[in-house]
Each structure stands twice: as structure tokens, then as C-alpha cells.
Amino acid sequence: MDGAGTNEDAIIHVVGSRSNAQRQQLKSMFKTAYGRDLVEDLDSELSGDFCETIMALFESPAWYDAWCIKEAIYGLGTDESTLIEIFASRTNAQVQAIREVYKDVASPNRKAGNELIEKDIEDDTSGDFKRFLISASQGNRRTLSYEKLEEAVEPVEFDGKPTGQFRINFDKIVNVGKAKRDAQALFEATEDRFGTDEETMIRIFAVNETYQMRRTYEEYVKLTQRDIENTIDRETSGNFGAGILTLVMNLKCRPKYFAQRLVWTMKGLGTKDRDLIRVIVSRAEIDMVQIKACFLEMTKQTLWNWIDQDCSGDYKKILQAIVGKD
């Protein structure tokens, strides 16, 4: 950044090859060495989608998610798609971290509590969709205890002798009876009545642990001969339906959901750049390897190649640096 012009390739190399934790250290050491704010300097040197990507990479994951939520709510209109993506895909710990910093992101100049995120959702959404978002924003889904998981691990034997391998007995993890009752309740709330009982849907989808919900989906197929996603498509609509469907997709296979999301950002005329940046930056250190595998299976091309065809310049280079070639 020193002198006339900017060496974008050097910035891409340094920023794109470091983890988020290392970038936080870079910010600290830059200020120590030069008495200047690295992010402010980069912001003044760069522009466009390239600049937005670099800025996103220098924020902590929780802060960046909170900023994306604030941007989706504040101003004209509401970006429901972003709210659904974030709240339906984050873990309990991630949602709790977002709640902790949201007040500082959305209200930096006045004192606010952790409940600000709920107030903003209530003020900007309505009906069943509002209830879905408030439920998802608690970060309070039941989780599987380590002790229960350990009990379900069983040795694999061959001819009565141990093989040194182990498997998980999923029947020991889940409550099969409860899964059948929840499947019946979902059937009665959707297919087996006139209209839809959205409250029951929110309660079942939002509260139960991931493996328990997967078993519920299996029991639902046995009961109705339909996949739960098919029922959601037929029985719900609008943002509420999109939210419930996104939640189900993430509980089934989160990398597959994000692969589909990436296709959506780049398919057709134009590119949904802010959504593309958010997905790549937020998943880079979590499950990008699995997302790329799902993306390749889905499109028969690599994610790196899609970015190469859909983006350009330094913006393309930084996205490809984060994603990496297969």
C-alpha cells in the first residue's frame, strides 16, 4: 500500500493464505508496527466487491454474521434470504456469539442489550416468519451430550474377533418412540388437516437435536411415503416456508445446502455478489472442503471454475484464493 498505486496481488497472497485468527493478529501487529489501522488503510486503498471481501475476511466470524444481519434488517426493505441463511444454518454456539456482539454492531453509539436482535426482528418481520426467526435466534437447540455419543460407539467385529474399527449405533443416540410421535405430529399439522399448524412445525423443527430430527424425517417417510421437504413445499409458502425448508436442509446436510446456495448466487444473469462473499467467507474454515465436493457432484464443475467464469479481476482472485483448487 506504500507509495503510488496498490500491490493487490501481495494483499491477496497475504490475506487469502491466512486464517481468521492470524488476520486478527495481523491487525494488531500492524498497528503496533506502524501506528495505523490496517483495515482503515485497506478500505481506503481498495474498492468494489474486492474491498468488501477483504473487509469481511478481517472481521471475526460472529461480528461479520452480526453485520450481515444488521444490513439485512436496517434500511429500506428486508433481506429475508440472508436472515434465513444465517439463522437456519448456524450452531448454538455461533448464534450465541452473534447475539453477544450484535448490540455493538447495530447500535455502536447507544447502550443496548442482547435482546436488541430480537427487537429488530420483531420490528422488521411479521407473522409465522417472525416467530421462526425469533426461535432460531435463541441458539438453544437441544444438543447431543458427549456421554450419550460415547455410549453409542460400538466395536466392529469379524468372525467374533475385534477389527480395531468402531461404528455408531444411531438407535442408541435417538429416541425412536419420540421420532415416531413427532413424525405423526408433523403429519397431523400438515397433510392430515385443512391448513397448516405452523406453531407445531416451529416447535418440532427448532427444538430437537440434529440426529433426533434426522430420525424423525425417516419415520415421516415411512408414515406418509413423502419426504418432509416435499410436504413443506406443498403445505407452506413465503418466507416461513423458505425458513423451515432451509432449516431442514441444514439438519440433513449443511454442506449440500451451501453448495446449492452458491449455485444460486452465480446461476443466470448477474451475480449476487454480497451473498457469494458471505457464503465463501463464513464457510471458509468450517466445511468448505465438503461444500466443494457437494458442488462438484451437483454441477459437474469445481467451485473454483465457476468463480473463474462468473467473476473477474482481483475480486475473482481473492475468492479463488479462499476456495482453492480441488
Region 15-28: what's the mean pLDDT? Answer: 96
pLDDT at site 61: 97
pLDDT at site 268: 87
Tell me if 102 sits within 8 A of 70, measured CB to CB: yes
pLDDT at site 33: 97
Q: Which of 83-97, 192-206, 274-288 comes out lowest in average pLDDT?
A: 192-206
Give CA–CA dist 260/110, Å, rounded. 39
Region 148-157: what's the mean pLDDT? Answer: 91
Work out the pLDDT band at 195, boundaries 50, 70, 90. confident
Work out the pLDDT band at 112, boundaries 50, 70, 90. confident
Work out the pLDDT band at 3, boundaries 50, 70, 90. confident
Give CA–CA dist 24/58, Å, rounded. 7
> CB within 8 A of 214, min separation 6: which ones?
174, 251, 252
Region 200-220: what's the mean pLDDT? Answer: 94
Report whether pLDDT(193) > 90: no
pLDDT at site 103: 95
Amino acid letter, residue 124? D
Give CA–CA dist 300/306, Å, rounded. 10
Indicate left, alpha or beta for 159 from its phi (over 0: left) and psi (-120 to 50: alpha): left
> CB within 8 A of 40, min separation 6: which ones?
none
The ranges of the chain annotated as CATH 1.10.220.10 are 65-136, 142-235
Report whether pLDDT(79) > 90: yes
At the fourth CATH level, the homologous superfamily of domain 65-136 is Annexin (1.10.220.10)
pLDDT at site 237: 93
pLDDT at site 114: 80
pLDDT at site 2: 86
Work out the pLDDT band at 264, boundaries 50, 70, 90. very high
Mean pLDDT of the chain: 95
Q: Which of 145, 146, 163 is nearest to 155 (CA)?
A: 163
pLDDT at site 307: 98
Work out the pLDDT band at 271, boundaries 50, 70, 90. very high
Fold (CATH) for 142-235: Annexin V; domain 1 (1.10.220)
pLDDT at site 326: 85
Give CA–CA dist 114/228, Å, rounded. 34
Q: How far apart are the first and last CA of the chain?
A: 31
pLDDT at site 5: 84
Tell me if 220 sits within 8 A of 226, measured CB to CB: yes
Strands 153-158 vs 161-168: parallel, antiparallel or unpaired: antiparallel
